[in-house]
Structure 1
Amino acid sequence: MALTLGYPSAERVTLCATDDVAARLEDLQDVLAQGPGRLAFTNGVHVRALLDHAEDPRWPELSGAVRDELGPVVAEAFPMRSGGEVVGVVTYHLQPGSSLALDAEDCQLVTDLVGAAALDHDGDHEWGAVAGTGPWGDRSAIHQATGMVMVQLRVDATDALALLKAHAFTSGESLAATAHHVLDRSLDFPTTDTGEGGAP
C-alpha cells in the first residue's frame, strides 16, 4: 500500500509505502506520468488495473515496466478526499487472482477517513509545509536537481524534470535517487558544442 498526496502536481509526495513493490509502483507512475493512481486522482473514482503487457492497454509503458521489474501486479487505487476535494490517492498492490480484505465501498470510506485525518478541512493544503524532512526531503531534492539541470542545459523546468525522469527510468532507479546523484555531482547533463567552430 502507498499513500500519495498532490498526485499530478510538482508537489507530489508519497508519504508512506509499505514495501519496495509499493514504493517502486508509485515511482514508476510518477516517472511515466500514467497509471491507475493518476486516473483515480483526476476522475475521483476507484480504479482497478492488472498491470501486464497483455491485459491493460491504457498504460502500455507502465504495464510493461511493472511486469518486467515486479511481475504482473493488480493495482487498486482509491482517491483520498478531504473537504470535497481529491487530495491524494491510496494504492494497494496485489497478486493477480487475489482481492482486498474489504470491499471497494469500505476501502473508499477508510481512504476518505485517512484523507480527513491527514489534512486540514479548510482546503488550504500546503504540501511542502515540512519541506526538507521525511518524504518531503526527497521531493525537495527533486526540485533542487531540476534547477541544476535547468542551469546545465539552459532548458525550462518541464524539460529538466522530463530529463531527470527519463534518466531514472532508463537506469532503473527512483526519481529521488537520480535527483540525489545530481545534487552530489555524481551525475550531470553537460552540453556539447557541435558547432562548426570546433571544440570550445
Structure 2
Amino acid sequence: MLTRLCEVAIGELRMSGAVVSLMTPVHATGDQSGTITAASSDGARSVDELEFSLGEGPGRDAFSGSRPVLTPDLEKAFDRWPGYVPAALAAGVRATFAFPMLIGAARFGVVHLHCSRARTLTDHDTATSLMLTELATEIVLDTYAPAGEHTPVDVPLLRPDDRRDEIYQAQGMVMVALGVSLREALARMRAHAFASNQELAAVAADILAGRTHLEPDTDGAP
C-alpha cells in the first residue's frame, strides 16, 4: 500500500521519486535511525539512502524538526547540506520536499518527494502532499505497530498478517447498524478493541460472526 502511495504521489505531484521512511530518534546521540519502507523506484530509494550514509539531508531535518522541509532548488542549499547536495544532484535530483509523519508530538517517519527540476509547490501541491503524508501515517499505524503495544493515541492496531478485508467488511456493518459514517464506524471499532484489550482484526472477526454488537450512545444518538 505504501508503494502504491508513492506511485500516486509522483503521478499527482509530477515528481521523479517518492519514498516513505520509518525513523526513530536515538536519544543518546541526538541522531536518527531508520529504514526505507517503500519507494516509487530503485532510483528514489538510492537517493534517500544518501541521507543515512552522509548523516544529513532534508528528510532527516524534517523528522528531527517535526516540520516540512521544502527545498525548491538544491543548488542553493550547499551550505545547509554540503555532503548531501552534490550527491543528490549527481543522482539527478534538483528539488526535494520532505514531510514528517506525525501523530501529535509523536514522530514516525518521513514522506520524501524528489523532483528532477527546480520547482516550488503550489498551494494545491502542498495540500496534496500533506494529505498523502497523513494517509501514509495511517497506513503505517494500522500495519506496522507491534501487536499488544499502543500507539501514542492508545489505539490497538494491525499486524502485517491481519486481514484488512474483514476489517473493512465489519466497518461497513457497523456503519449501517449505527447509522454513522465509515470514519466513525472505524473509530467505534478501535475504541471497542482498546477497551476490551483486543486487536482490531479480532474485533472485526467477532462482528462478522455476530459475536460482538456495537451499541449506539446511551442518549439514543449513534
Segments of structure 2 that go 5 or more residues without pairing to the other structure are 1-17, 27-31, 161-222
- Kept in 1: contact 2:99–2:110 (CA 8 A): yes
- State the AA in 1 paired with 2:20: L
Segments of structure 1 that go 5 or more residues without pairing to the other structure are 131-200
2:118 corresponds to = 97
2:21 corresponds to = 4
Q: 2:57 aligns with which of 26, 30, 35?
A: 35
Larger relative contact order (Cα-Cα within 8 Å, sequence gap ≥ 6): 1
Q: 2:138 aligns with which of 104, 116, 121?
A: 116
The CA deviation at 1:109 is: 2.8
SS of match in other structure, 2:130: helix
Q: Distance in 2 between matches of 1:81 and 1:99?
A: 23
1:61 corresponds to = 83
Query: TM-score w.r.t. structure 1 length?
Result: 0.53
1:193 corresponds to = none
Q: Deviations over 1:160-195 (max 9, x none)?
A: xxxxxxxxxxxxxxxxxxxxxxxxxxxxxxxxxxxx
- State the AA in 2 paired with 1:81: L
The CA deviation at 1:30 is: 0.6
Gap change, CA 1:112 and 1:59, over 3 Å in 2: same
Q: Deviations over 1:113-160 (max 9, x none)?
A: 220221156238xxxx88xxxxxxxxxxxxxxxxxxxxxxxxxxxxxx
- State the AA in 1 paired with 2:40: T
2:74 corresponds to = 51
Q: Distance in 2 between matches of 1:88 and 1:82?
A: 11
Identity %: 29
The CA deviation at 1:7 is: 5.2
Q: Distance in 1 between matches of 2:55 and 2:107?
A: 18
Query: TM-score w.r.t. structure 2 length?
Result: 0.49
Which protein is bigger by CA-based radius of gyration?
Answer: 2
Q: Distance in 2 between matches of 1:85 and 1:60?
A: 29
- State the AA in 2 paired with 1:113: L
Number of equivalenced pairs: 124
Cα RMSD, aligned residues only: 2.7
